[in-house]
Structures are given as structure tokens and as C-alpha cells.
Amino acid sequence: MTEASYSVDVRTLDEFTPRELYTMLKMRTDVFVVEQKCPYPELDGSDPETLHLRLLSSGELLACARIGRPSGAADPTVIGRVVVSPNHRGKRLGEVLMKETIAACERLFSGHPIVLSAQSHLQRFYETFGFIAASEEYLEDDIPHIDMKRGLTATTG
């Protein structure tokens, strides 16, 4: 997908219209709960405190990710809820989404490492973005996961 064919949007939960919020949460639920057959509380209470990055094309939601702000000076930025619309898979949007999400983390929270909890089968994918394994494999909602960390981003000066 070329740069001109999508736009990037980063907002807090309160900045979404009800329809935009519904679309994003429905996509996450459709993938994480229904498709992955994983009945767990997708609405986990973290959304109001995080930033939400979306890839859009002509107003259509292509993909999204959640960015958790560092809670302290030495704490990491947390990427989560990384998802590509089932209608737009096979277009390398996962790569675009991760590049844009990492860029947003570096721009907004410079000087903080970035962490994520990856489904284990995606470990190599995340390694291509500089993430390294930071834990042993564990089960989360009956799906094998591994914690991963990307080093410190550059500080502004």
C-alpha cells in the first residue's frame, strides 16, 4: 500500500465520534473475540487511558493499534490491540501499521523503550521492527504469547 493511499490518525478515546469508536471496537471484537474464538473482555478498561492509532483510506478503517503512555520517566510505551481489518488482509498493512505505530511512539514518547505482548506465531514479524523476546512463552486467553521489547528511542534535545 502506498503512502498516498492511506492516512494516519492518532487520538484519545474521547476524540472519536460514536460511529468511529463503534467501527474500531467492532473490528477489534470481530478479530480478537470472534475470529480467534477467544471470549475475554475486549473492552478491558484501558482504552480511555491510551492513544488509538488508525490507518484510514477514504474514511474506511483499515487497521488500528493502541498506544499506552509511559507511566513514569523510565517506563515503556506499550503497543497493543494491533489489528488489520479482515477485509484488507494480504496488502502488507500489518507492516504499515507497525511502522506508523512505532513512529508515533518515538515522536510522542521519545526516550522510552517500546514493549508489546505478541502472539508467539508473530514473533519473527515483530523482530523485523527491532523487537526482541523479553520473556518465555506464556498463555494469554489460551493463545501462546511472548513479551517483546524494542530499545530506547532517541531523545530530543
- Mark the ranges of the chain whose per-residue pLDDT is less than 50: 154-157
Number of domains in the chain: 1
In a domain, 100, yes or no: yes
In a domain, 25, yes or no: yes
What range does the domain containing 41 cover?
3-150
Q: Which residue has the cell 501499521?
A: 97
pTM for the full predicted model: 0.91
In a domain, 155, yes or no: no
Evaluated on CA atoms 21, 116, 99, 72, the torsion sign reads: positive
Rounded Cα distance between 141 and 58, Å, is: 35
Confidence (pLDDT) at 155:
44
Rounded Cα distance between 24 and 16, Å, is: 10
In a domain, 62, yes or no: yes
Rounded to the nearest 10°, the torsion over CA 83, 28, 63, 103 is -60
SS3 assignment, position 107: helix
Look up the CATH number of the domain holding residue 100: 3.40.630.30
In a domain, 156, yes or no: no
In a domain, 157, yes or no: no
